């Protein structure tokens, strides 16, 4: 298990600023958190080096790029061997439409989140998935009707 980082108030303000807009310049972040440029840059660099900031990305509007359908896929298997898990992980990684994969407790073993453009697109992805992954007991899909809330920002705990 990864050690929980010790973050002070300035670290949290830096992280919150970058979560809202990773395109901010160091100077803009420094101004927002009340630091000069060099100390702010050093803190951001430390947060990156410690693996707290994983990467900076651009978030796309899935609808605008023709991938406006979100599908949640529940997967059950009876095989939990290391070899099967390795095949499963490699297979999930080969399918770019799978944007998240979670191992679960409960009756389902995995939950996949996909972004696709159409039912036909989903059918192609589904057929590829079941071809790549052996020993599946159940693959059930649920299509999202509406995104009520979407956020990529984490609410940081106060130390």
Provide the pLDDT for residue 123.
Answer: 98
- CATH code (residue 38): 1.10.10.10
Q: Chunk the chain into consecutive blocks of 10 residues (it has 159) and report each block's average pLDDT, rounded to whole numbers.
A: 88 97 97 97 97 95 97 96 96 98 97 98 98 96 97 90
**43 and 81 share a domain?**
no
Provide the pLDDT for residue 79.
Answer: 93
Provide the pLDDT for residue 4.
Answer: 87
Provide the pLDDT for residue 82.
Answer: 96
Kindly give the pairing relationship between strand 69-77 and strand 98-103: unpaired
**119 and 76 share a domain?**
yes
Q: Confirm whether 60 is domain-assigned.
A: no
Q: Confirm whether 31 is domain-assigned.
A: yes
Domain boundaries, position 36: 9-49
- CATH code (residue 93): 3.30.70.920
In the three-class reduction of DSSP (H, G, I as helix; E, B as strand; rest coil), residue 24 is classed as: coil
Provide the pLDDT for residue 2.
Answer: 79
Residue 52 and residue 89 in contact, taking contact as beta carbons nearer than 8 Å: no
Give the global pTM: 0.89
Provide the pLDDT for residue 66.
Answer: 97
């Amino acid at each position: 298990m990864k050690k929980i980082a010790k973050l002070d108030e300035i670290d949290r303000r830096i992280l919150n600023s970058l979560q809202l807009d990773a395109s901010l310049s160091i100077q803009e972040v420094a101004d927002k958190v009340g630091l000069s440029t060099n100390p702010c840059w050093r803190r951001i660099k430390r947060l990156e080096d410690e693996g707290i900031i994983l990467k900076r990305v651009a978030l796309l509007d899935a609808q605008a790029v023709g991938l406006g359908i979100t599908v949640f896929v529940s997967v059950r298997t009876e095989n939990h061997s290391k070899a099967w898990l390795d095949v499963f992980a490699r297979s999930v990684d080969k399918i770019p439409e799978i944007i998240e994969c979670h191992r679960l407790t409960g009756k389902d073993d995995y939950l996949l989140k996909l972004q696709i453009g159409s039912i036909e697109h989903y059918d192609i992805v589904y057929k590829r998935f079941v071809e790549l992954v052996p020993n599946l007991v159940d693959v059930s899909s649920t299509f999202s009707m509406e995104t009520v809330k979407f956020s990529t920002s984490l609410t940081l705990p106060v130390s």
